[in-house]
Structure 1
Amino acid sequence: MEALLSQFTFLSDQSLLDKTFDPSTIEDLMKLFEIESYKAWAAAELEQETELEETEHAMQEAEEHLDSVMESAMDEFRRFEEEMERISRDEVESLVQTAEKARKMGNLMEKSAAIASKKYMEAALNSATSSMKSAWKGISSGKVHPS
């Protein structure tokens, strides 16, 4: 483009100095300007399309990376969730087992207390019966022998 501007300056100077100057030479130069402008425009458009394609490609890669990261995060979350559910289930199961053991121990203690209470009552009753028999023997033997 600079060469064309130099040529235009040269022809402009020549047209002022030379009375026989043919104006069609400037028209030919103007056509070259037009062609050069179209070439520059086409090159700029091609560069813009190239940049657009590169940008679209970069966006596609970024979307794929984001999808990959999101999928990885979701997988990790699912594994975490499953692990928490397993731990919760194990804890509930452990609590149920502990509660069942405590219930059985309570039942056993209740039965033991009932048995001990029954044996204590039987012992007390046997003692009272024995005391009464002994007292009755003493009374009976005193009636047989007048004093």
Structure 2
Amino acid sequence: MEALLAQFTLLSDQACHDKNFDPSSIDDLMKLFEVEAYNAWAAMVLEQEEEVKEAEVAMEQAEDYLDSVMESAMDEFRRFELEMESMARKELESLERTADSARNMGNLMEKAATIASKKYMEAALNSATASMKTAWKGLSSKKVHPS
């Protein structure tokens, strides 16, 4: 393009100083400018298309990386979720065993209390019966021997 500008300057000077100057030579130079401009435009379009392709490749790589990171995060979340479910299940089983033990202990304590209260009532009844018998004997013996 610089060579064309230099030639245009030369032809412009020649057109100003030479009365026999042929204006068609400037037309030829203008056609060269047009071709040069078209070539520059075509090169710019190709460069832009290349940059677009590079940007598309970069976007695909970024998307692939994002997909990979997201999949890794989801895998980690699934492992964490399974671990938490397992821990919760173990805790629930432990609580159920503790509850069963407490219920069994309560049942045993209820049976023991029932047996103890029956024995206490039997002992109290036996004691009351013995007291009544003794009192009855005492009363019976006083009737037989009037004083």
TM-score by length of 1: 0.88
Unmatched segments (≥5 aa) in structure 1: none
Q: How many residues align?
A: 147
The equivalent of 1:57 in structure 2 is: 57
Aligned mates of 2:11, 2:128 — CA distance in 1: 151
TM-score by length of 2: 0.88
* Aligned-residue identity in percent: 73
Aligned mates of 1:134, 1:31 — CA distance in 2: 150
- Which aligned pairs between 1:1-147 and structure 2 lie closer than 5 A? 1-145=1-145, 147=147
More displaced, 99-108 or 18-27?
Answer: 18-27
More displaced, 28-37 or 133-142?
Answer: 133-142
Aligned mates of 1:95, 1:76 — CA distance in 2: 28
Unmatched segments (≥5 aa) in structure 2: none
Aligned mates of 2:25, 2:82 — CA distance in 1: 85
The amino acid of 1:54's aligned partner reads E
Aligned mates of 1:126, 1:15 — CA distance in 2: 151
Aligned mates of 2:143, 2:16 — CA distance in 1: 178
| Superposition CA RMSD, Å | 1.8
